[in-house]
Structure 1
Amino acid sequence: MKTTSMFTALLVLALAAGCTREEDGMGPAQKAGKAVDEAGDKVARELRAPLEKADEAAKKLAERAEEERRQLAERTEEAREKIKDATEEAGRGLQKATGKVGEKVEQAGEKMQDAAR
């Protein structure tokens, strides 16, 4: 807004001054055009640094997000492996317990048969 108002003011001043050339060979419209170009360049220079900072911040944020995603994937895989190992261990423990229960039932059956004789 500020820049647009400045451009408009310069253009109006240049037109009001007339169209005669001055010593430097530039007429008022050329001077106004030059002033507009210079003002545009200044605005572009002033905006470049903040835009570059914002771009760099966005890149860093994306890198951090990717690192977090990678770490989460690793932790998820580690958790799956631990669950798998625990499940296998529980299965082995259940088989062992089942075998012992079977032995005890067999022993109890033999004792009952011996007592019945």
Structure 2
Amino acid sequence: MKTMTMFSALLVLALAAGCTRDEDAVGPAQKAGKAIDEAGEKVAEGLRAPLEKADEAARKLAERAEQERRALAERTEQAREQIKDATEEAGRGLEKAAGKVGEKVEQAGEKMQEAAR
């Protein structure tokens, strides 16, 4: 049992000595990972400005489209009002013409009656 206890103690000491690591030491996988991260950041930084320009252009285009939509809606409403006014005026003209035709028909009827007497 004494041998087993000594062996266990030596094993614990060996593991403890082997597990101590220099925190500043960086392995090849860590170096590669860092390089990939840095490259990704550079690419992202390079794309950030063009993407911001594209976003700004899209925003301006959307604003212009909205302005044009509003202007078109306003012109459409004006055209509707003009058509409505023209239709009403035409209706009044037809009523007036119908009234005159009615008067003329009435006068012709009276003349026919007088001529028939």
The TM-score normalised by the length of structure 2 is 0.70
**Structure of greater Rg:** 2
Q: Does 1:75 pair with 2:75?
A: yes
2:115 is the counterpart of 1:104: no
Distance in structure 1 (CA, Å) of the matches to 2:25 and 2:89: 91
User: Whole-Å Cα distance in 2 between the matches of residues 26 and 75 of structure 1?
Assistant: 73
Taking the aligned partners of 1:102 and 1:33, their CA distance within structure 2 comes to 98
Count of matched residue pairs? 94
Show structure 2 runs of 5+ residues with no match: 1-21
Structure 2 CA distance for aligned equivalents of residues 84 and 65 of structure 1: 28
Q: Segments of 4+ in structure 1 off by > 6 A?
A: none
Q: Secondary structure at the match of 2:78?
A: helix
1:27 matched to which residue of 2?
26
TM-score (norm. length: structure 1): 0.70
Distance 2:80 2:34 in 1: 68
Equivalent in the alignment of 1:54: 54
In structure 2, the residue matched to 1:39 is 39
Report the Cα offset of residue 33 of structure 1: 4.1
Equivalent residue runs for 1:1-12 within 5 Å: none
RMSD between aligned residues = 1.8
Mapped to 2, the partners of 1:113 and 1:93 lie a distance apart of: 30
How many angstroms does 1:38 deviate by? 2.6
